Chain A
Amino acid sequence: MPYVSDQPLSLSEAVSFDEAEYLRRYPDVVEAIERGKYRSGREHYERYGRAEGRVFTALPSELAEVAVGVATGFEPSAPAAPRHAIDAVLIAEDGWVCVVGWVDDSAEPLCSLRIEGRGWSATAAGRALPRLVRADVQKALEVDEARSFGFLLLIRTGARISPPRECRVAFQWQGQEMVLLAPARTVSPQEMLTHVLTLLTRAGGNRLDTMLALKGGLGSEIARLSRAVSGALVRAPFVERFGDQKRQPKTSIIVCLYGRPEYLFLQNALFANRPGIEECEFIYVCNSPELIERLLKDAACGTTIYGLSQTVVGLSGNAGFGPASNLGAGLARAGRILCLNPDVFPREPGWAARHNAIAEAGGAGSRLFGTTLFYDDGALMHGGMYFALDPVVAVRPGFVQSDMFARVEHYGKGAPPDTKSFLRPRPVPAVSGAFLSAERAWFERLGGSPRTMCSAITRTPISVCAAWRPVCRCGCRICRCGTWKGRARRQARSAPPRIW
């Protein structure tokens, strides 16, 4: 008799349903098919598997339902295990391992999580496992309050490993262990970093939850991975110099480019032929490999049209603002470093001469200084930066948890352009990396730009200069295009693909 399902697969299920994977996971279903009870794994899932919460994909996509984990070796007589699942296991050959999953251990806390591969293993204590809020899990479990069901384990096994096809992941509670065989996906360290950061940006719940996960060890592991990724990228840059390289510049202007190629030719046009610019060289460090070829052409055009001396440095990936800046500083020929954002343009033609004069004059405040930045509509964008502390709270069962977080703020943001209090030269807690002028020797002594991302979630650079005692000076009036949500929208479109 032909089978007609009265509960056919939904569109998302139909897209994601993996017959082979379903049969691989559930030998009992295979046996039932052999006995003629069902014609396919899909039929079983439609009739019973969905109600039982069985998993039907190898790497569940966003469209798939959250599946309730079913452990192998389940014994009906054993006490019911807390619900749990593994969403993805990512392995990099240099030993980084990332495990993403969730567990409802609200009734019985998880003791540990152990992952085993071919010749290696790693164990994380339950209380040390970084936890995240997962809205999809909450919805599937029909739980109203936000709880950190999700977890994200990021570890380095310490040695190169041969990525297995699947890993054994053991959830351990008091007196009970549940083991899942999870397919492992081989990724590069850079891909792993991108996926981890993407997951963090999508984590739900309170900011405090995510921050606590970072503070609990995840943040330092992400920083280690970031340094490893960046370090590999900056070790082998492509460098091409244009224009007159014999002349010794007084200032090396370092610009990190990401995502938009037009800023190079715009800066070429708007900076060129201004008093003092002939004493500067430009070093463009490209964090977007797909733009390198275009930038080389534009730099060649710029040298032909404006006579600029500039260098283009290409990397095979996004090393981040800090490492890219340091790389540029390492290639600089001048004794003065000026870190400049690509969307910064001069408002006054004589800014370069004035900058060079301040730098040469020496004295207090010349070792490291920034300048006032303006929006394209003329309003003040920056008059220096400072840090504010905010309490962030999360209501837990029976208590309110809180922590203090630092927030970066800007003096005079949005103020009229002639607001004197923000224009006078004065010491400030920090200046923006959008315009940061420093003595090169001192810059190198202090270790250069922070190599770790201060804001791991958004990957936006924060120029933390509190220990460097910077000064915000006016005079080198600079206009910055600022950001628009459309750019964020564009970045979202080019965000890395889903990892599962």
Chain B
Amino acid sequence: MSPAPRQTGVRAGAETPKLRVLQVSLHHPELVRGGAQQVCYELFEGLKARGDFAPVLLAATDDSAPALFRSGARITGFDGRPDEHLFLTSEFDPFWHRSSNKLLAESFAEFLRLIRPDVVHFHHFMNFGADYLTLTRRVLLDCRIVFTFHEFLTLCHHYGQMVRRSDRSLCDRGSPVRCHQCFPEIAPEMFFARAEWFRRHLSVVDAFTVPSRFMIDRYVEWGIPAGKIVHIPNGQRNYAAGVQAEPKRGKRNRFGFFGQLVDGKGMNVLLRAAALLRAQGFDDFLVEINGDNLRYATPAAQSEFERLRAAEEALPVEAQRVLFNGPYHVEKLPRLMARVDWCVVPSVWWEVFGLVISEAWMFRRPVIASDVGGMAERIRHDETGLLFPMGDFRALADTLRRAATEKGLWDRLVAALPPAPTRETMVEAYARVYRDGANTVQAALARAAE
């Protein structure tokens, strides 16, 4: 483990200097929405609000924002925002997660030398390169390097989701042969080499964090030392702050989906469930689909979504039970959450945390979710929410009907909802990792649990 971050210029009796923390993000949430970059930005803003840290953000951007690529530049400012920078990635290989642009590596090294952070916290290596961890260690011998696993990209080339390409079943263990089965065009030994590549660069990390406990076992089995991993739930600012209490309602039959319209989020499972309910003669419910990025779904998923949407919108307005509200910004959450009683998270992958679950809890909305991964870890079935078998739209239909009709269920679940993890709690936990390292924090958490 590297020594504690150096604190320069400390005189006896002098004020403790701020710890400079560089947050490295795969995207800026202003440019591309997504969970990992959102959490990174929450942490960045949370650290800024404290007086003892000097955070800097370096977020990558790719050719989805070509206008931001200034000629000859590799790292620039962002939108006039202080301490926020853009890394203009190029020549990025998504299998090896590295760039062959040597000027980018040189610019990153120079940036590190200029900023001289005490802590470098990587929320990803995508769009930078896994070898940037090693580069960071080489440039800043004394800094503490922290890495957060926001999904399973190190273990799984299939978008880090650990979902088998053959039958879309969940995968719980990667191996050269199993990965080759998902990608027959890539030799097993290449997956072996890929794993070695990642292990090599992750070996310089001082502390790892994961947002859900079940990820710890997965990564320890892969090779991360158990003593280096800390569980820190993702926290967010409270979007429900200042929202007035809503009047009581008799029926609790309004369901909301909030998320990207990509395969892993399972929006089609919800649409099929709604269609089934109607076919069974039950139509006393409403589903609101909030989200965007259908273009990133697979063609099959896009096609099915469009078909179900078209069938719904072909019905007379009074008969429609599914509304498509389009994309949304988190600022709209109060209004959107007010229109629903339940939040549905029908994800068909492990869903390592599910920020939307926290957002639902902020607005005291119980969650109906798939019974796997981070969802099953956070929600206790029939106590703080409802779980259904992942991908089973019939079971989801039954759950929706129960939720809409069972008297007292909603009130009971709402009363038992835990508070959503706050930004401040998350920042405090990270502050301790930055200052004290992973195993010290682990020991403290263990003592607190006793």
What residues make up the interface of A, taking CB atoms closer than 8 Å to B?
Answer: 262, 265-266, 269-270, 272-273, 294, 297-298, 300-301, 304-307, 343, 345, 375-377, 481-482, 484, 486-487
Determine whether the beta carbon of B193 is less than 8 Å from that of A306.
no
Determine whether the beta carbon of A484 is less than 8 Å from that of B187.
yes
Bound-state Cα–Cα, A376 to B197, Å: 13
B134 at the interface (CB under 8 A from A): yes
Bound-state Cα–Cα, A266 to B134, Å: 13
Given A262-B96, A304-B105, A376-B193, also A269-B188 (CB < 8 A): no
Bound-state Cα–Cα, A487 to B99, Å: 24
Determine whether the beta carbon of B188 is less than 8 Å from that of A376.
yes
Given A307-B138, A484-B189, also A297-B106 (CB < 8 A): no
Bound-state Cα–Cα, A294 to B100, Å: 8
> Which A residues touch B201, using CB under 8 A?
269
> Which A residues touch B96, using CB under 8 A?
262, 265
Determine whether the beta carbon of B176 is less than 8 Å from that of A304.
no
Q: Which residue of A lies closest to B175 (CB)?
A: A377
Determine whether the beta carbon of B102 is less than 8 Å from that of A487.
no
Given A297-B100, A305-B105, A376-B176, also A481-B134 (CB < 8 A): no
Determine whether the beta carbon of A301 is less than 8 Å from that of B200.
no
> Which B residues touch A269, using CB under 8 A?
131, 134, 197, 200-201
Q: Which residue of A lies closest to B131 (CB)?
A: A305
Residues B283-309 near A (CB distance < 8 A): none
Which of B187, B188, B189 has the most chain A CB within a 10 Å cutoff?
A: B189
Bound-state Cα–Cα, A453 to B188, Å: 29
Q: Which residue of B lies closest to A375 (CB)?
A: B189
Provide the B91-130 mask, 1 if CB < 8 A to any CB of A, else 0.
Answer: 0000010111110011001000000000000000000000
10 smallest A-B Cβ distances: which pairs? A376-B192, A481-B189, A300-B102, A484-B187, A305-B135, A376-B189, A301-B102, A304-B105, A297-B100, A269-B200
> Which A residues touch B100, using CB under 8 A?
265, 294, 297-298, 301
Determine whether the beta carbon of A305 is less than 8 Å from that of B138.
yes
Q: How far is the CB of A344 from chain B (nearest CB, A)?
A: 11
- Looking at the complex, which one of A262, A273, A301, A486 makes contact with B105 (CB distance below 8 Å)? A301
Q: How far is the CB of B134 from chain A (nearest CB, A)?
A: 6
B196 at the interface (CB under 8 A from A): yes
B172 at the interface (CB under 8 A from A): no
Bound-state Cα–Cα, A298 to B106, Å: 13
B185 at the interface (CB under 8 A from A): yes
Q: How far is the CB of A300 from chain B (nearest CB, A)?
A: 4
- Jot down 11 A-B pairs with beta carbons below 8 A, ordered by A: A262-B193, A265-B96, A269-B131, A301-B102, A301-B105, A343-B189, A376-B189, A481-B189, A481-B190, A482-B189, A486-B187
Q: How far is the CB of B90 from chain A (nearest CB, A)?
A: 12
Determine whether the beta carbon of B200 is less than 8 Å from that of A270.
yes
Provide the B179-212 mask, 1 if CB < 8 A to any CB of A, else 0.
Answer: 0000001011110110011001100000000000
> Which A residues touch B102, using CB under 8 A?
297, 300-301, 304
- Looking at the complex, which one of B98, B135, B187 makes contact with A304 (CB distance below 8 Å)? B135
